[in-house]
Structures are given as structure tokens and as C-alpha cells.
């Protein structure tokens, strides 16, 4: 799992990463001297669940966008950083556009320096940030507030990252090995070392590899991940590879480490290209900077059906590079203008290595079908790996089409289902998670045989990715389970008291009943009867659910029949005499104010009475 930062310069990205990981990702002397990030920084991270992850910290200055883009390609999710002292800034917007073009679909938003502003300003910045993100992939992402000097909000950020990590689809550990190189250095006594995020495949020590394009072949002398030597690394991990048989001078950022002969560099690709609304028009045959993985390369843009692409528009284009690049179908390409260099747009690769004539019949229709066909299959695979449904709007952003169109195209597919019309999921995943829910409910019944069922708070802990209401609706349809209020139980579950529990129940009931309208608190009841605390709590909770007992404020307990008589007395007095104050109702109950107040407040909560100023009236049914 790889997280990355994004955001404007001096908004606290590096400081946040240091607070989360304990590592300073600014390693260059110039970064230390100037106090800004210039190149990519890396740090390992262990999430609260125990998941291992890595952080890629990117520079925020516009002059170092090429370095920022090199870090984005390997991100599974992003932490978009906005300083509460300044709010959304130009690089915030540009980074967000870059993330979107390069296919990042998960993440959270962190407002740093929250301790440096007042609450009103902080909420204003949060609202402005949410408005900026509304139509992006972060439109529904949580916005967290952090004050790094005090550690404010850091635990919440870690928990949010854990939730994001559980929602991210694992990368493909099979197939073609692909490790875009983002850093190269030499270690005395060991030789050349390259680092990067392994985006696909698995790499092992002692195997043969090559650097494409144009690089030499080598042998994997050693591997490190998260600072530990490993025998193998797989897709999704940050990895450092010690190469034997290759000189440091022959390796550069942008090359891809792969198995020999598996990746063929190309100089042409068909790309569905989109321009940002604020970008300048892009002319046919324009020279542009492109970014693929960690590589930057010059290319020309050739349109098949127009002479110019207008801002905010999309079109099919052929990119022709001036030097070979490593590219595969479905890769993302970022495009920046040649001069001045500004982010213009990006696109998805549909086809590589084939030139097409400008007026070739049915070319664009074929590319449309080709690009539109695969995303649904990929979406189905992602849904099958998830533990919860994906909001239809988010799924639509992933496949690049409107939500209503996606819903129509998913209808009838055996590998995707829609829940409540607004959530996409996989039937296979649904069956797997349903089995898990049954296991959890059974375990809860065994652990807590006196409780009504698996409660809402436990449901959220076990399945944090789910929308609460949807989860309840879906679980209610699982064979063998029922939902009662906020709890889930087996349909055939019944509380059966042991001999000891039955005796304790009678003793508790007798103790509370003898107190009349002078209730005991829960610890007092358990102490008087001598019930073990854990069993006593569950037993009392069950008795309350059965109506044997009534629980008032501050854990005060009163006999159910005694309470019902008190309700009748209060209701009868108010019906006869009209609104009554606390002192009068105390006399009706025949108890002290100390006990009358919690009794009357419970009747208010039960909507028997309603307090109006200093008196109570009956609630009209």
C-alpha cells in the first residue's frame, strides 16, 4: 500500500508525513537549507490495523512538477494537503488535476496548521476545500484537521488511512514485472541501487532483469522493502533493488525495471486525450511534454478528426514520441505544454505501437468501443476484491462515464450487481462477505449469550467501509439473519438462562422491586446480589430489553411493574388536575425529589409527559 502527498508549497506535506511516520523525507542538503521539498521523499508507515504501507512525499513548488508527477504514478491513494492558514492555492488545483489524470481514485484531505487559525476560519477553509473537490475523485473524501506541533488530529488521520487502505484494490502481483525507477544511487561495496513502487508483478533476488528503454540487463543482488531485506517483493510495495552487473551511469529515473524481453518500448500510442478547462487550446502537431510512470518525454500530438482541441474538451489523438517510452494499454499519460510549461491535460492509452491514417474508416468508433469495453471488466474485478459496495458515482468516475449510463450498462451483467440502485458490487464478494457476517454473528452469540445480538458499533468496527443504513438493509436479506433495531442476530437465536443466571435474575428483580421508587444504581444492584460484573451487565441489559427493569439516567434501575404504576399515577394526576410541577408530582409518586427527577425525565424521554417551563403536561397520543 503506497500513500502519496499532494498540495501547494509550504502547506505542511513533509511535516505531516514526519508526524505520521517519524521520518523526515527531505534528504537533500539543498532541501534542508531552503526549507522546501525539491525531490521525492519516502518513508515507511505501519497503520493502526498492522498493515504495512509507504509514503511518497512530493514537492509542492510549480518548478518541481516533473518530480511530483514521478511520485504520483505509484500511489494507491493520496493525502491532499491544504494549509488552514491559506486554503486552496494554485498548486492544490494543479496537483488535483494531475492526480485525476493519472488515475488516482482514493484518498483523504488534511487541513494542516489547524491550530494556527480560529474555528470560524477553519470551517470556512474546509467549506471552500469541499467546494473545490466537489466534482473530483475526492468529492466524498473525509476532510481532517491537523495541528502537527501538538499532534492534534494525527490519530484520526492514521485511522482514515487505514480505512482507505482496506478499500484499495490490490495490485496485480502476477503478469509482467513493472517497476518504474524514481531514484538511482550507488552504495560503496554494493553497487547500483534503484528504487520505485512495484506497480505490477513480483521480483525476486538472483533473477535476471533489464532496464527499459535502452538500459542494460542485470541481476538482482538484493531487495529491501520498508527498510528490511526481503527475498521477494510484489506489486504495491515500495522496493529498493540492488543490481549487479550494471553501472550507475547507465541508469536514469524514468526507466522501467522488468524481466528481459517483457516490455517493448514504443514511440506511438492512441490516447483518449482531455484538456483542462483553463488550459490553452492544443493544436494538431503540437509539441508537448508527456509523463508516463516516472518518465518525462517529448512528443507531438496528432488529431484524427480536428485541427485543434479546445479547453475542457476530449478527443482521440495519436502521441508520437521523439524517443522510445515504456507504455501499455490502459496506462495514463499526463500532458504539459512545451513552452511555457503548464499542465494541459491527460489521457488513457487504448492502443500502443500502431500508426493510423488520419482518415482511416471507423477508427474512432473502434477506439471508443475498445476503451469502453475494458473498464467494466476492470471495475468488476475491483468490486470482487472489495469488502463493501462502491458508490455508483465513485464507480462511474473510475470508468469515466456518467453514473446513469454506468447503471444501464451494468444491468444484466453476472459479475456486477446494484444495491439500492446507488451502489455497485460483485455477487461473489457479496456471498463472501455474507458468510463472514454469519461467522461474526455466531461468534458474538457465543461470546455474549445474554445480549440481543451483534450491535451497531461492532458492525462499524468490523466493516468500516460500509454505509451504515445500506449495511442494515443488506444484512436483513441474508438468509438466517434478522435485524432488530440496531442489532443483528440469528433468526433462531433465543436467550436461554442457565440455572445460575435464572437465580441471579430473580435476586436482581427482588432487590430492585423491594426498593420501589427509590432505585439503585447498577453497580449497587450487582454488589447487593453478588453477580459477576460481566455477566451482571449482560443480564441486566437483557432484563431491561424484556421489560423486567427500567433503566433511568445514571444507570439507576427500577422495577418494570413499579415504573408502570408510577406512569399511571403521574398520567392520572395530570389528567385530573392539569399541568403539574416537580414538587406536586413528587408527592404523587410518594418519593423524594432525588428520585422523582430521574423518573420524570425518563417519562419525558418515553413521551408520556413533556416539560413546559416549570410544569409537565401529557403528550397527546
Q: Are residues 202 and 313 in the same domain?
A: no
Tens digits of residue pLDDT in 469-515: 888 889 888 999 998 888 888 888 887 787 878 888 888 899 889 98
Q: What is the pTM of this model?
A: 0.58
| Residue 471 Cα to chain centre, angstroms | 17
**What is the predicted pLDDT for the residue at 175?**
65
Q: Are residues 452 and 392 in the same domain?
A: no
- Which CA distances in Å does 512 have to 93, 158, 553, 556, 621? 64, 46, 16, 10, 30
**Interval 36-65 mean pLDDT:** 81
**Interval 355-366 mean pLDDT:** 79
The band of 204, judged by pLDDT with boundaries at 50, 70 and 90, is very high
Domain end residue (candidates: 425, 446, 465): 425
Domain end residue (candidates: 425, 440, 456): 425
- Higher-scoring residue by pLDDT: 38, 325: 325
Give a yes or no: residue 173 inside a domain.
no
CATH number at residue 512: 1.10.10.10
Q: Are residues 24 and 82 in the same domain?
A: yes
What percent of the chain lies above the pLDDT cut of 70? 95
Indicate whether 162 pLDDT > 90: yes
Give a yes or no: residue 78 inside a domain.
yes
Q: Are residues 419 and 451 in the same domain?
A: no
Q: Are residues 40 and 70 in the same domain?
A: yes
Give a yes or no: residue 552 inside a domain.
yes
Give a yes or no: residue 462 inside a domain.
yes
Q: Are residues 614 and 517 in the same domain?
A: yes
The DSSP secondary-structure symbol of 36 reads: S
Q: Are residues 244 and 392 in the same domain?
A: no
Tens digits of residue pLDDT in 290-324: 999 889 999 999 999 899 999 999 999 999 999 99
Count of structural domains, the chain? 6
Rounded CA separation 89/505 (Å): 64
State the residue range of the domain holding 558.
499-618
Q: Are residues 278 and 385 in the same domain?
A: no
Q: Are residues 193 and 225 in the same domain?
A: yes
**What is the predicted pLDDT for the residue at 65?**
75
Q: Are residues 602 and 614 in the same domain?
A: yes
Q: Which residues of 117-143 are buried (b: 16+ CB within 10 A; e: fewer)?
A: beeeebeebbeebeebbeebbbeebeb
Rounded CA separation 339/268 (Å): 22
Q: Are residues 575 and 594 in the same domain?
A: yes
| Residue 391 Cα to chain centre, angstroms | 12
Closest CA to 132 of 78, 103, 95: 95
Give a yes or no: residue 378 inside a domain.
yes
Backbone angles phi, psi at 207, to 5 degrees: -90, 160
Q: Are residues 510 and 608 in the same domain?
A: yes
Amino acid at each position: 500500500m503506497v500513500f502519496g502527498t499532494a498540495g501547494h508549497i509550504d502547506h505542511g506535506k513533509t511535516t505531516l508525513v514526519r508526524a505520521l511516520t517519524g521520518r523526515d523525507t527531505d534528504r537533500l542538503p539543498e532541501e534542508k537549507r531552503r526549507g522546501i521539498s525539491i525531490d521525492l521523499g519516502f518513508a515507511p508507515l505501519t497503520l493502526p490495523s498492522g498493515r504495512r504501507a509507504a509514503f511518497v512525499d512530493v514537492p509542492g513548488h510549480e518548478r518541481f512538477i516533473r518530480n511530483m508527477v514521478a511520485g504520483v504514478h505509484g500511489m494507491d491513494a493520496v493525502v491532499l494537503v491544504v494549509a488552514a492558514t491559506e486554503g486552496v492555492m494554485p498548486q492544490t488545483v494543479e496537483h488535483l488535476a494531475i492526480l485525476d489524470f493519472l488515475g488516482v481514485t482514493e484518498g483523504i484531505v488534511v487541513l494542516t496548521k489547524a491550530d494556527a487559525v480560529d474555528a470560524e476560519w477553519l470551517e470556512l477553509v474546509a467549506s471552500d476545500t469541499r467546494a473545490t473537490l466537489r466534482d473530483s475523485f475526492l468529492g466524498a473524501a473525509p476532510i481532517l484537521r491537523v495541528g502537527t506541533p501538538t499532534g492534534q488530529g494525527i490519530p484520526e488521520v492514521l485511522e482514515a488511512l487505514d480505512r482507505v487502505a482496506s478499500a484499495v484494490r490490490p495490485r496485480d502481483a502476477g503478469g509482467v514485472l513493472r517497476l518504474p525507477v524514481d531514484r538511482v544511487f550507488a552504495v560503496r561495496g554494493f553497487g547500483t541501487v534503484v528504487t520505485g513502487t512495484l506497480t505490477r508483478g513480483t521480483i525476486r533476488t538472483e533473477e535476471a532483469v533489464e532496464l527499459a528503454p535502452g538500459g542494460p540487463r542485470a541481476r538482482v543482488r538484493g531487495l529491501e522493502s520498508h527498510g528490511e531485506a526481503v527475498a521477494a517483493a510484489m506489486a504495491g510495495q515500495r522496493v529498493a533493488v540492488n543490481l549487479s552487473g550494471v553501472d550507475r551511469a547507465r541508469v536514469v529515473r524514468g526507466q522501467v525495471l522488468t524481466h528481459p524481453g517483457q516490455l517493448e518500448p514504443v514511440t506511438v500510442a492512441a490516447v483518449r486525450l482531455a484538456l483542462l478547462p483553463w488550459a490553452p487550446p492544443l493544436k494538431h502537431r503540437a509539441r508537448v511534454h508527456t509523463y508516463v510512470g516516472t518518465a518525462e518525454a517529448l512528443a507531438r500530438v496528432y488529431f484524427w478528426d480536428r485541427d485543434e482541441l479546445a479547453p475542457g474538451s476530449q478527443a482521440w489523438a495519436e502521441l508520437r514520441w521523439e524517443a522510445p517510452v515504456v507504455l501499455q494499454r490502459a496506462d495514463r499519460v499526463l500532458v504539459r505544454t512545451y513552452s511555457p510549461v503548464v499542465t494541459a491535460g491527460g489521457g488513457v492509452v487504448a492502443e500502443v505501437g500502431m500508426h493510423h491514417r488520419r482518415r482511416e474508416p471507423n477508427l474512432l468508433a473502434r477506439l471508443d468501443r475498445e476503451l469502453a469495453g475494458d473498464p467494466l471488466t476492470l471495475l468488476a474485478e475491483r468490486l470482487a476484491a472489495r469488502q463493501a459496495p462502491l458508490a455508483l458515482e465513485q464507480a462511474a468516475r473510475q470508468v469515466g462515464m456518467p453514473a446513469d449510463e454506468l447503471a444501464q450498462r451494468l444491468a444484466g451483467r453476472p459479475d456486477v450487481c446494484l444495491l439500492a440502485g446507488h451502489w455497485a458490487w460483485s455477487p461473489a464478494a457479496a456471498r463472501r462477505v455474507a458468510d463472514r457476517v454469519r461467522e461474526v454473528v455466531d461468534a458474538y452469540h457465543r461470546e455474549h449469550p445474554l445480549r440481543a445480538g451483534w450491535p451497531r458499533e461492532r458492525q462499524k468496527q468490523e466493516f468500516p467501509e460500509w454505509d451504515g443504513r445500506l449495511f442494515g438493509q443488506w444484512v436483513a436479506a441474508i438468509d438466517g439473519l434478522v435485524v432488530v433495531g440496531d442489532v443483528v442476530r440469528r433468526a433462531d437465536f433465543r436467550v436461554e438462562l442457565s440455572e445460575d443466571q435464572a437465580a441471579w435474575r430473580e435476586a436482581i428483580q427482588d432487590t430492585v422491586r423491594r426498593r420501589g421508587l427509590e432505585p439503585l444504581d447498577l453497580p449497587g444492584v450487582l454488589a447487593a446480589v453478588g453477580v459477576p460484573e460481566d455477566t451482571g451487565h449482560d443480564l441486566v441489559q437483557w432484563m431491561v430489553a424484556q421489560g423486567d427493569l427500567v433503566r433511568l439516567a445514571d444507570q439507576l434501575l427500577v422495577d418494570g411493574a413499579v415504573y408502570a404504576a408510577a406512569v399511571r399515577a403521574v398520567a392520572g394526576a395530570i389528567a385530573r388536575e392539569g399541568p403539574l410541577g416537580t414538587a406536586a408530582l413528587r408527592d404523587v409518586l410518594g418519593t423524594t425529589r432525588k428520585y422523582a427527577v430521574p423518573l420524570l425525565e425518563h417519562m419525558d424521554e418515553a413521551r408520556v409527559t413533556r416539560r413546559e417551563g416549570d410544569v409537565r403536561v401529557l403528550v397527546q397520543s
